């Protein structure tokens, strides 16, 4: 590499470029897209969980003035290509997706017909006029008995309700280890049904021009290029003729990473009709028919020696995939097993993973999709500590991996190169003053009968997975305009992460120019190279890696041109604040902008053989895993009369390597933590025994508000990863560490009165039922 620059923007809490337009109402979300001739779609959905379709009569609906089309499976299904995501196109465990239900319906919300009308009001009127006759069948709702049910099948064509099974099974070596163990602790933990709930529901506007064969979709998506590929497959329009645009996206948390089913049906409808169609999901649809998550049961075992050192761990995980999982076939159970050791030395690991289909909304990615490994392990650590008679912090101290043990290879073969679980555990404990809290807890209980508790959630996060295509790679294109202003384009789908700010921070540093001179254009397949979208805690490492590499190529060429103009050697140059100079002789300078101008407009002055222009495209593929880690510590007080859980302190100590923008990092942590708190204490999506959803509004599905959430305290440990920028991904982590920290704190408080808890949620009713 030639020349040097000082890092000036990376590491700074730069205010976000996105904010002024979002704060003044000038963002452009999918529902803001409007143009003459745009039609509006609404779905007719099943109101039964499992039923045979006797008839769908659309006569009256089609006759309603303003209605353009009412399409059923007979109209649409034979026109559809595959509806699976790229990653899982040929996976035999796929659920049998179809655009509209044909012979039977498989969950409440399963789309049966789509209405297209001149406005949304008329479309919904027409939905009410569709006569849907269903013959109910017994629904598979309980995921714990689904596997054994051979009579009632969610997908009859599959012949079983088991979507996926895999294992690293128990064996003689395990038995021998257990026989030698001083303590063997087994517990079964349940997580309950939750859903992502982005504040902007899903939505798509599709404009298909039959004359050009071009299809333009504006969409609320985290992943424009995947959407483009999925729409191309579903509609048969060539991928090169499909454009997907997502200017602003109102949250996703995984829901909008893979292209969901309903959006593809709208694209298919628009392509079929040759008309522009908008569909904006309403909140009820988003709650019942987008995707659900977190329905898990883990039976897990820790074997420990007399000193409390872990000898081995086993986790048998069962997950509910619903009827049509989104973007994943049998869920993520194998990851739950493989990642179970987390931040601890666990010489022996065995696991089993089972995923089942049920007549409920499909499981989908939700911030840390495999996080049951942390939930089960951290809650089991506390259960083991109580069983052994050690403090949970002390048990963790005896087992946590220390810096001097790195690199550490887990029993599954994953290598931790740069992680700091020990440091974050100690930092979080110190921020709380753990011993002082224990003393206060004891005093408050003894003197006043108050129930205080403390919980820890310690984990390593496998961020920025370079092991799975197409999630592994990002490509950035940098174009330097003749004025020296820089346009970066990337296939990302920023939806709150602030990439329009953070990626320019990286590029401006690498180029040595002003931050205001760099802009990121993203969220549009027409302007960007193929890319991975935004998800999987990958933006800093992978997107940042691509931006950094492209910028280095640009800088090298700029130095080559500057060296020629100044009659110097490129290796002797440096750039500071947009001025390229010979190191040690600051008087000899040429501006980066002047170099850009020469590169485009005075090409005769370029070195012989050097191509005109200034720009570069570079791709970066991440290492298999870039591990980040964090420790969450939470203290609570339980109200013995109301059952209410109040969080008093919430501390996160995390190591995400070099932070590009600490403000954005802390914002990501906070958002994840509060989703985790909400998941344990408030949020619960409920079906009745027949598979009818009972929580279909925000009055029933309770999100945390500002009135409930604690002030989050942060600690940072910053160790460089072995990636070009030294970053580690952290976007999902808050939602991984928070649930067990909150759960353990409540369990700790309950233990004061001898009560034991293994299930969530932990609302007032559940707490009162648990208290003696």
C-beta of 284 vs 398, nearer to another protein:
284
Contacts (CB under 8 A) with another protein, residues 181-220: 197-201
Kindly state whether residue 31 participates in binding another protein, applying the rule CB under 8 A.
Answer: yes
C-beta of 24 vs 103, nearer to another protein:
24
Residues 6+ apart with CB under 8 A from 769: none
Q: How far apart are CA 266 and CA 43, in angstroms?
A: 10
3-state class (DSSP) for residue 383: helix
Residues 6+ apart with CB under 8 A from 91: 84, 329
Q: Which of 681, 686, 688 is nearest to 703 (CA)?
A: 681
**Which residue among 143, 189, 253, 416 contacts another protein (CB under 8 A)?**
253
C-beta of 22 vs 591, nearer to another protein:
22
The CA-based dihedral angle spanning residues 407, 411, 412, 414, taken in that order and rounded to the nearest 10 degrees: -10
Residues 6+ apart with CB under 8 A from 386: 392, 751
Instruction: Provide the mask over 80-119, with x wherever binding to another protein is found by CB under 8 A and - wherever it is not.
Output: ----------------------------------------
CB of 105 to another protein, least distance (A): 25
CB of 257 to another protein, least distance (A): 14
How far are the Cα atoms of 71, 89, 500, 509, 731 from residue 515, in angstroms, in the given order? 51, 41, 11, 8, 24
Which residues is 113 bridged to in the sheet? 44, 72
C-beta of 38 vs 167, nearer to another protein:
38
**Which residue among 11, 66, 81, 251 contacts another protein (CB under 8 A)?**
251
Stretch that binds another protein, among 31-39, 106-114, 229-237, 589-597 (CB under 8 A): 31-39
Please identify which residue in the block is written with the tokens 């009972």: 694
Kindly state whether residue 227 participates in binding another protein, applying the rule CB under 8 A.
Answer: no
Which residues is 273 bridged to in the sheet? none
Tell me, what DSSP letter sits at residue 682? T
Work out the burial of residue 183: count CB atoms within 10 Å of its CB; fewer than 13 is exposed, 13-18 middle, 19 or more buried.
Answer: middle
**Which residue among 25, 37, 92, 754 contacts another protein (CB under 8 A)?**
25
Q: How far apart are CA 184 and CA 398, in angstroms?
A: 16
**Which residue among 224, 392, 421, 496 contacts another protein (CB under 8 A)?**
496
**What is the H or E stretch that residue 596 is in?**
helix 592-601
Kindly state whether residue 29 participates in binding another protein, applying the rule CB under 8 A.
Answer: yes
C-beta of 285 vs 509, nearer to another protein:
285
Q: Which of 731, 688, 49 is nearest to 357 (CA)?
A: 49
Kindly state whether residue 480 participates in binding another protein, applying the rule CB under 8 A.
Answer: no
Contacts (CB under 8 A) with another protein, residues 662-701: 663-664, 666-667, 670-675, 697-699
Half-sphere exposure of 125 (CA within 13 A, CB side): 14
CB of 764 to another protein, least distance (A): 17
Stretch that binds another protein, among 11-19, 271-279, 376-384, 636-644 (CB under 8 A): 11-19
* CA atoms 7, 600, 477, 221: torsion sign: positive
Work out the burial of residue 509: count CB atoms within 10 Å of its CB; fewer than 13 is exposed, 13-18 middle, 19 or more buried.
Answer: buried
Q: Which of 554, 552, 558 is nearest to 581 (CA)?
A: 558
CB of 296 to another protein, least distance (A): 22
C-beta of 256 vs 597, nearer to another protein:
256
3-state class (DSSP) for residue 150: coil
Instruction: Provide the mask over 703-742, with x wherever binding to another protein is found by CB under 8 A and - wherever it is not.
Output: xxxxx-x-xx---------------------x--------
Kindly state whether residue 632 participates in binding another protein, applying the rule CB under 8 A.
Answer: no
Q: Which of 492, 561, 556, 489 is nearest to 518 (CA)?
A: 489
CB of 691 to another protein, least distance (A): 23
CB of 15 to another protein, least distance (A): 6
Kindly state whether residue 401 participates in binding another protein, applying the rule CB under 8 A.
Answer: no
C-beta of 11 vs 704, nearer to another protein:
704
The CA-based dihedral angle spanning residues 251, 253, 256, 262, taken in that order and rounded to the nearest 10 degrees: -100
CB of 9 to another protein, least distance (A): 16
**Which residue among 6, 26, 138, 688 contacts another protein (CB under 8 A)?**
26
| Greatest Cα pair distance in the chain | 87
C-beta of 197 vs 660, nearer to another protein:
197
CB of 670 to another protein, least distance (A): 4
Stretch that binds another protein, among 25-33, 71-79, 149-157, 375-383 (CB under 8 A): 25-33
Residues 6+ apart with CB under 8 A from 696: 284, 287, 288
C-beta of 110 vs 200, nearer to another protein:
200
SS3 content of the chain, % helix, strand, coil (to 5): 35, 25, 40
C-beta of 643 vs 667, nearer to another protein:
667
Kindly state whether residue 32 participates in binding another protein, applying the rule CB under 8 A.
Answer: yes
Question: How many residues sit close enough to another protein to count as binding (CB under 8 A)?
Answer: 55
How far are the Cα atoms of 621, 633, 737 from residue 648, in angstroms, in the given order? 42, 11, 17
Kindly state whether residue 65 participates in binding another protein, applying the rule CB under 8 A.
Answer: no
**Which residue among 110, 207, 226, 248 contacts another protein (CB under 8 A)?**
248
The beta strands (E) that lie in 548-603 are given as 573-576, 579-582, 585-591
**What is the H or E stretch that residue 675 is in?**
helix 662-681
Kindly state whether residue 285 participates in binding another protein, applying the rule CB under 8 A.
Answer: no
Kindly state whether residue 516 participates in binding another protein, applying the rule CB under 8 A.
Answer: no
Output the six-digit token pair for 644: 């209410």
C-beta of 104 vs 637, nearer to another protein:
637
**Which residue among 12, 22, 438, 514 contacts another protein (CB under 8 A)?**
22
**Which residue among 2, 5, 8, 27 contacts another protein (CB under 8 A)?**
27
Stretch that binds another protein, among 44-52, 81-89, 178-186, 246-254 (CB under 8 A): 246-254
Stretch that binds another protein, among 244-252, 406-414, 553-561, 615-623 (CB under 8 A): 244-252
Kindly state whether residue 250 participates in binding another protein, applying the rule CB under 8 A.
Answer: yes
CB of 58 to another protein, least distance (A): 23
C-beta of 201 vs 399, nearer to another protein:
201
Stretch that binds another protein, among 16-24, 390-398, 419-427, 562-570 (CB under 8 A): 16-24
- Phi then psi for 7, rounded to 5 degrees? -65, 120
Q: Do the Cβ atoms of 754 and 646 come closer than 8 Å? A: no
**Span between the terminal Cα atoms of the chain, in Å:** 68
C-beta of 183 vs 247, nearer to another protein:
247
CB of 247 to another protein, least distance (A): 11
Q: Do the Cβ atoms of 510 and 549 come closer than 8 Å? A: no
C-beta of 253 vs 335, nearer to another protein:
253
Kindly state whether residue 417 participates in binding another protein, applying the rule CB under 8 A.
Answer: no
In SS3 terms, 14-67 reads as: CCCCCHHHHHCCCCCCHHHCCCCCCEEEEEEECCCCCEEEEEEECHHHHHCCCE
Phi-psi region of 749 (alpha: psi -120 to 50; beta: other; left: phi over 0): alpha
Residues of the shown chain interacting with another protein in the complex, contacts defined by CB under 8 A = 15-16, 18-20, 22-29, 31-32, 34, 121, 197-201, 248-251, 253, 282-283, 495-498, 663-664, 666-667, 670-675, 697-699, 703-707, 709, 711-712, 734
């Amino acid at each position: 590499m030639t020349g040097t620059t000082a890092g000036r923007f990376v590491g700074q809490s730069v205010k976000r470029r996105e904010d002024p337009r979002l704060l003044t109402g000038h963002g452009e979300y999918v529902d803001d897209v409007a143009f003459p001739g745009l039609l509006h779609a609404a779905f007719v959905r099943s109101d039964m969980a499992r039923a045979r379709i006797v008839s769908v009569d659309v006569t009256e609906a089609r006759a309603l003035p303003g209605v353009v089309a009412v399409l059923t499976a007979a109209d649409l299904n034979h026109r559809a290509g595959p509806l699976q995501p790229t990653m899982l196109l040929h996976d035999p465990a796929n659920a049998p997706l179809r655009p509209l239900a044909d012979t039977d319906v498989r969950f409440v919300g399963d789309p049966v017909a789509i209405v297209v009308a001149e406005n949304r009001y008329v479309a919904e009127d027409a939905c009410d006029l569709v006569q849907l006759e269903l013959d109910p069948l017994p629904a598979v709702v309980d995921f714990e008995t689904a596997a054994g049910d051979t009579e009632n099948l969610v997908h009859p064509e599959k012949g079983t309700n088991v979507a996926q099974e895999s294992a690293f099974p128990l064996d003689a070596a395990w038995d021998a280890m257990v026989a030698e163990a001083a303590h063997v602790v087994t517990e079964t933990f349940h997580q309950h049904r939750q859903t992502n709930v982005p504040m902007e529901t899903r939505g798509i506007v599709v404009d298909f021009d039959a004359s050009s064969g071009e299809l333009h979709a504006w969409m609320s998506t985290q992943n424009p290029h995947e959407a483009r590929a999925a729409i191309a497959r579903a509609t048969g329009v060539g991928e090169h003729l499909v454009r997907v645009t997502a200017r602003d996206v109102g949250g996703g948390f995984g829901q909008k990473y893979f292209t969901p089913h309903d959006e593809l049906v709208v694209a298919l409808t628009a392509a079929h009709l040759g008309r522009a169609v908008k569909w904006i999901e309403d909140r009820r649809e988003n709650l019942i028919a987008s995707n659900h998550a977190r329905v898990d049961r883990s039976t897990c075992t820790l074997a420990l020696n007399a000193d409390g050192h872990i000898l081995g761990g086993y986790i048998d995980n069962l997950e509910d995939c619903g009827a049509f999982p989104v973007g994943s076939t049998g869920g993520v159970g194998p990851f739950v097993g493989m990642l179970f050791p987390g931040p601890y030395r666990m010489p022996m690991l065995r696991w089993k993973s089972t995923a089942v289909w049920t007549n409920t909304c499909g499981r989908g990615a939700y911030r840390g999709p495999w996080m049951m490994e942390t939930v089960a392990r951290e809650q089991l650590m506390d259960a083991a500590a109580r069983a052994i008679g050690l403090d949970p912090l002390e048990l963790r101290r005896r087992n946590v991996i220390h810096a001097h043990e790195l690199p550490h290879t887990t029993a599954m073969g994953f290598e931790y190169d740069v992680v700091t679980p020990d440091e974050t555990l100690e930092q979080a404990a110190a921020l709380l003053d753990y011993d002082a809290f224990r003393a206060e807890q004891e005093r408050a209980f003894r003197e006043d009968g108050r129930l205080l508790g403390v919980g820890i959630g310690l984990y390593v996060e496998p961020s920025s997975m370079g092991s799975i295509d197409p999630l592994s790679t990002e490509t950035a294109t940098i174009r330097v305009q003749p004025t020296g202003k820089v346009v970066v384009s990337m296939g990302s789908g920023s939806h709150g992460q602030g990439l329009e700010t953070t990626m320019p921070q990286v590029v401006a540093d690498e180029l040595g120019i002003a931050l205001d001179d760099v802009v990121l254009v993203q969220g549009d397949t027409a302007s960007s190279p193929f890319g991975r979208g935004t998800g999987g805690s990958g933006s800093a490492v992978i997107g940042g890696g691509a931006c950094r590499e492209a910028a280095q190529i640009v800088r090298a060429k700029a130095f080559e041109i500057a060296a020629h103009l100044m009659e110097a050697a490129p290796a002797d140059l440096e750039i500071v604040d947009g001025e390229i100079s010979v190191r040690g002789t600051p008087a000899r300078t040429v501006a980066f902008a002047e170099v850009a101008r020469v590169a485009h407009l005075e090409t005769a002055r370029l070195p012989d053989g050097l191509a005109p222009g200034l720009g570069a495209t570079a791709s970066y593929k991440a290492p298999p895993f870039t591990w980040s880690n964090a420790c969450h510590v939470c203290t609570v007080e339980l109200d013995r009369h109301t059952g209410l859980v109040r969080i008093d302190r919430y501390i996160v100590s995390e190591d995400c390597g070099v932070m590009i923008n600490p403000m954005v990092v802390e914002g990501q942590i906070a958002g994840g933590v509060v989703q985790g708190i909400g998941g344990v204490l408030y949020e619960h999506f409920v079906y009745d025994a027949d598979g009818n959803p009972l929580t279909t509004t925000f009055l029933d599905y309770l999100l945390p508000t500002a009135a409930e959430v604690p002030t989050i305290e942060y600690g940072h440990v910053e160790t460089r990863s072995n990636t070009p920028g030294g970053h580690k991904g952290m976007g999902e982590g808050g939602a991984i560490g928070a649930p067990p920290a909150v759960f353990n704190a409540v369990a700790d408080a309950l233990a004061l009165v001898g009560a034991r808890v293994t299930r969530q949620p932990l609302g007032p009713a559940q707490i009162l039922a648990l208290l003696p």
